[in-house]
Amino acid sequence: MNPSMKPLVIFSHGKVSGPKGNRIQALSKVCEEQGFDVESLDYRRLHTNERVTKLNNYLMNLSRPYILVGTSMGGYVSAVAGLSNDPMGIFLISPAVYMDGYAEADLERLECPVTVVHGWQDDIVPVENVIRFAQAAKADLHVFDGGHRLREKLDETESCFAQFLRNCRKQNPHIRLQTLSSHYGTSISG
């Protein structure tokens, strides 16, 4: 891994969304403002295990620092991929953890910082599953008054994500980061 390369945030979308969804677009802006590049993989028409394989294959060829971000099924995919790779951190929104039909994974073995955002009224992924995951992974957990998509909590989600990125930056001071101000000749590292 080359720490002199600008880090990448890799988004993994949910089962019924796509790589250019509204939430991914909003969070991509937060990434760019903080000096991270963005990639959003397209998993449409792939089953869960195929998604994990696709992300693992992508990460195998990556030579720069990265952060994994996943929503719903993409949260499960990001968490499982994080077990066999070395991300700077993992940020999950309504992750589909401990769900029927998904392979059981040793999620407590995640060794990087993890932050989870979830809704109390999520009718797809029970909040109990996410609390169990957060405890096992020693994750920071933010539970909001909202459903699975947390549409009404986008500002709060963006705020949590921005803080998560700042924390990743602090924990990895050797990583090269440039903010939007770098376009005007000022580079910010660490």
Which CATH number fits the domain that encloses residue 156? 3.40.50.1820
Asked if residue 186 has pLDDT above 70, the reply is no
Quote the mean pLDDT of the chain.
Answer: 88
What's the pLDDT at 179? 46
46 in any annotated domain: yes
Measured CA to CA, the distance from residue 38 to residue 40 in angstroms comes to 7
1 in any annotated domain: no
Measured CA to CA, the distance from residue 187 to residue 178 in angstroms comes to 5
Measured CA to CA, the distance from residue 102 to residue 36 in angstroms comes to 31
Q: How confident is the model at residue 3 (pLDDT cuts 50, 70, 90)?
A: low
Measured CA to CA, the distance from residue 144 to residue 120 in angstroms comes to 6
Sheet (strand 89-93) strand order: 37-41, 8-12, 66-71, 89-93, 114-119, 140-144
Summarize the confidence of residues 55-75 as an average pLDDT: 96
What's the pLDDT at 92? 98
Segment among 15-29, 59-73, 112-126, 155-169 with least mean pLDDT = 15-29
Q: Give pLDDT tens digits for 123-151.
A: 999 999 999 999 999 999 999 999 888 87
Non-local CB neighbours of 163 within 8 Å, separated by 6+ positions: none
Measured CA to CA, the distance from residue 164 to residue 168 in angstroms comes to 6
Structure token pair of residue 131 = 């609390």
2 in any annotated domain: no
Q: How confident is the model at residue 111 (pLDDT cuts 50, 70, 90)?
A: very high
Summarize the confidence of residues 72-89 as an average pLDDT: 96
pTM recorded for the entire structure: 0.89
Structural domain containing residue 77? 8-184
Structure token pair of residue 23 = 């939430």
56 in any annotated domain: yes
Non-local CB neighbours of 63 within 8 Å, separated by 6+ positions: 1, 2, 5
59-73 residues labelled b (16+ CB within 10 A) or e (exposed):
beeeeebbbbbbbbb
Cα 151 to Cα 18, 74, 120, 170: the distances in Å are 16, 17, 13, 29
190 in any annotated domain: no
Coil, helix or strand for 61? coil
What's the pLDDT at 17? 87
158 near 27, Cβ under 8 Å?
Answer: yes
Summarize the confidence of residues 45-58 as an average pLDDT: 95
Portion of the chain with pLDDT greater than 70, in percent: 90
Asked if residue 67 has pLDDT above 70, the reply is yes
Phi, psi of 21 (to 5 degrees): -65, 165
What's the pLDDT at 177? 61
**Number of folded domains in the chain?**
1
120 in any annotated domain: yes
What's the pLDDT at 103? 79
